[in-house]
Structure 1
Amino acid sequence: MDTRNLDLDDYEALPPSASTTAQMCAGAMAGIMEHCIMYPVDSVKTRMQSIRLAGVYRGTYDALIKMVTTEGVFRPVRGIQAVFVGAGPAHAMYFACYENMKIVLEKQLGHGPTAHGIAGCTAAVLHDAVMNPAEVVKQRMQMFGSSYKSCMQCFARIWATEGPRAFYRSYLTQLTMNVPFQAIHFMVYEQMQDAMNPLRRYDPRSHVISGAVAGAVAAAITTPLDVCKTLLNTQELCVLKQDNTIRGLPQAMMAVYRCCGFRGYFQGLQARVIFQMPSTAISWSVYEFFKYIMSAQNGLNIA
């Protein structure tokens, strides 16, 4: 059977026979690959956003070298287990929600940035609900002088001393950051795809470039909120001397400004962009690859 005359949109939308489980598996693999490969840079970003270490690192490379030389070669990957556990289910829900919401919204609003942005925002709500506890654990493990020996010990101690609410202290801030982040991310990605890959064929080059550009733009714009999220997750002692607990975004914003001034909102900007460009590119290319494989198995046109 010649499949070259089949509708090209079948690949982009995933085959009708592809179950939600298959979509979630593709998303889970994309999330795990993205976070684990780029985890050392994520550790550097967390360090550079630290209020305690403001001004210590001259840049991303300097921070990485100092972490390795003073704390050991494996220090940049400390806490990676939390991401491995959290990223799979979080991204499974994220991509499955996006794919299904995009189909529904495009029928109502047409193919365009509005439908893609709303679908991305909806996906972010589910993603962050699953990922937030893992974010808290990994950032506590990433901090300088962290006393936690393992992710499990970290989780248990936070639960015992701060209660379950500690794992969602930054959730609203995470959403405040990720809703615009994902809206920008998906809109830029889809616009880049319209320009570079209008037929929506499987094209690794266009997926990588589109993902990298989308991640860089969204990361740069939302960095101030990410700095506040890091403070809410880590509850740094140097800040807690004046505030017993940093409880929400307004308090975090005031604490950052009080300690570091306006420049404090852009701590780790370089590391965040450097992290997001390849990580978003990896996530989209891996996800699109699995879409390609599923389409191929169902005899769709993917040439």
Structure 2
Amino acid sequence: MMSCEEKETGSYGITTFQQVVSSCCGAVLTSILVTPLDVVKVRLQAQSNPSLKGKSFLDSDGLTDHVYLYENGTGKTWHKTSGRFTGMLDAFAKIVQREGVKALWSGLPPSLAVSVPTTVIYFTCYDQLRDALVYKIEDNDYIPLIAGGIARLFSATIISPVEMIRTRMQSRRLTYTQLLACISTNVANNGWLSLWKGWGPTVLRDVPFSALYWYNYEYFKMSLCKKSSLHEPTFLIIFSSGAAAGSIAATLTLPFDVIKTHRQTELWELDVTRSPQKTSASVWEVMKRIVVENGFTGLFTGIIPRLTKIAPACAIMISTYEYGKTFFRRLNKDKDMKNY
């Protein structure tokens, strides 16, 4: 499934560094604009699971990850709150009232420190894979699906240890010396693979999301270009395609997002609660527990704020990324013309 833009240009015509710059700008802008929606969504998911109190966990919009401390947080994580939220608007109002406007951007700096390199690896890897697969797979329709899934798997695997380290830094105030000693002890007792704890449910959630997202995004973009008889997609086409593709992927993968939020609470239980270590429940055990405690609808907790966040997040990210690539493509073309 080749986009109308690629059919016209033949290739990207930009360097890997320029792809990196484009994705970096998109990651920063997206994180700043959608973090408040992310905070509200996770709070709504968290209150449905009493065991979240005092524990840190990760959340993702499919493009970037964010870490949060649900209660008794310190520093730039969440502060203690009481009472339940009845909905998205109620959560916004109570968070601002009790904790101030800044609370809506809780944990943004450390999140940027990880989400930026994650997104850079993810988007750059996708473009490189898609270009490579064009010459190896006859059916181009499935290239975005394959490239999107592999790119997310690759980026999630590389960043997973960093995510775990960041979670520990936010769950407790540690100096770098203490952090290094803590990690060394953990590796000595549990092996190097312990740094990838939580990788399974993360991949189970993010890989399907990415595969569905890129497949639908490329399909919508190409279809809208054809209907409009355009050689290059406009900003509106890119923005609407990203929003629609993200919304579809978010809805279909929401149960795995909820499971990931619940299961993440077990990752640092020994450190946060100082209770004896427990064996992590499997994904299916967590799913069954959610259904028993909250019904089938419990698997779709936070769907409204998630969709409200996902649509603009995906739209802003892909629009910024595509705009950046178009800018560099034209810049390179102008340089070639001058040199010629």
What is the TM-score when the length of structure 2 is the normalising length?
0.72
> Which residue in the other structure is 1:3 paired with?
none
The alpha-carbon distance between structure 1 residues 77 and 266, as it changes in their structure 2 partners (threshold 3 A), is: same
2:237 to 177, 184, 206: 206
The alpha-carbon distance between structure 1 residues 11 and 246, as it changes in their structure 2 partners (threshold 3 A), is: farther
- How many residues were matched structurally? 286
> Which residue in the other structure is 2:69 paired with?
none
Q: Contact between 1:193 and 1:200, CA under 8 Å: does it hold in 2?
A: no
Supply the distance in 1 between the matched residues of 2:327 and 2:174 (Cα, whole angstroms).
37
TM alignment of 1:91-130, pairs within 5 A: 91-110=119-138, 112-130=140-158
Percent identity among equivalent residues? 25
- For residue 265 of structure 1, report the CA deviation from its aligned partner: 1.0
- For residue 285 of structure 1, report the CA deviation from its aligned partner: 0.3
- For residue 45 of structure 1, report the CA deviation from its aligned partner: 1.3
Q: Contact between 2:8 and 2:231, CA under 8 Å: does it hold in 1?
A: no
> Which residue in the other structure is 2:326 paired with?
292
TM alignment of 1:124-273, pairs within 5 A: 124-132=152-160, 159=183, 168-198=196-226, 199-235=230-266, 244=278, 246=280, 248-273=282-307
Supply the distance in 2 between the matched residues of 1:95 and 1:151 (Cα, whole angstroms).
33
Supply the distance in 2 between the matched residues of 1:159 and 1:276 (Cα, whole angstroms).
34
Gaps of 5+ in 2: 53-82, 335-340
Supply the distance in 2 between the matched residues of 1:131 and 1:180 (Cα, whole angstroms).
18
> Which residue in the other structure is 1:38 paired with?
34
Supply the distance in 2 between the matched residues of 1:69 and 1:149 (Cα, whole angstroms).
26
Q: Contact between 2:51 and 2:265, CA under 8 Å: does it hold in 1?
A: no
Q: Contact between 1:79 and 1:137, CA under 8 Å: does it hold in 2?
A: no
- For residue 129 of structure 1, report the CA deviation from its aligned partner: 2.6
Q: Contact between 2:18 and 2:325, CA under 8 Å: does it hold in 1?
A: no
- For residue 197 of structure 1, report the CA deviation from its aligned partner: 2.0
Supply the distance in 1 between the matched residues of 2:262 and 2:307 (Cα, whole angstroms).
19
* CA deviation string 1:217-243 (max 9, x = no partner): 000110110011112223397xx9999
> Which residue in the other structure is 1:89 paired with?
117
> Which residue in the other structure is 1:25 paired with?
21
The alpha-carbon distance between structure 1 residues 282 and 188, as it changes in their structure 2 partners (threshold 3 A), is: same
* CA deviation string 1:200-255 (max 9, x = no partner): 51511111000000000000110110011112223397xx9999353542343244
Supply the distance in 2 between the matched residues of 1:280 and 1:9 (Cα, whole angstroms).
24
Give the letter for the 1:79 counterpart.
Answer: G
Supply the distance in 1 between the matched residues of 2:182 and 2:112 (Cα, whole angstroms).
19
- For residue 100 of structure 1, report the CA deviation from its aligned partner: 1.2
Q: Give the aligned CA root-mean-square deviation in angstroms.
A: 3.5
> Which residue in the other structure is 1:79 paired with?
107
- For residue 24 of structure 1, report the CA deviation from its aligned partner: 1.8
* CA deviation string 1:243-279 (max 9, x = no partner): 9353542343244334423222111111111111000
Gaps of 5+ in 1: 1-6
Supply the distance in 1 between the matched residues of 2:10 and 2:214 (Cα, whole angstroms).
14
Supply the distance in 1 between the matched residues of 2:178 and 2:97 (Cα, whole angstroms).
24
What is the TM-score when the length of structure 1 is the normalising length?
0.80
Give the letter for the 1:216 counterpart.
Answer: S
Secondary structure, aligned partner of 1:38: helix
Supply the distance in 1 between the matched residues of 2:116 and 2:292 (Cα, whole angstroms).
37
- For residue 59 of structure 1, report the CA deviation from its aligned partner: 2.0
The alpha-carbon distance between structure 1 residues 152 and 290, as it changes in their structure 2 partners (threshold 3 A), is: farther
Give the letter for the 1:228 counterpart.
Answer: I
Supply the distance in 1 between the matched residues of 2:309 and 2:176 (Cα, whole angstroms).
26
Supply the distance in 2 between the matched residues of 1:242 and 1:260 (Cα, whole angstroms).
27
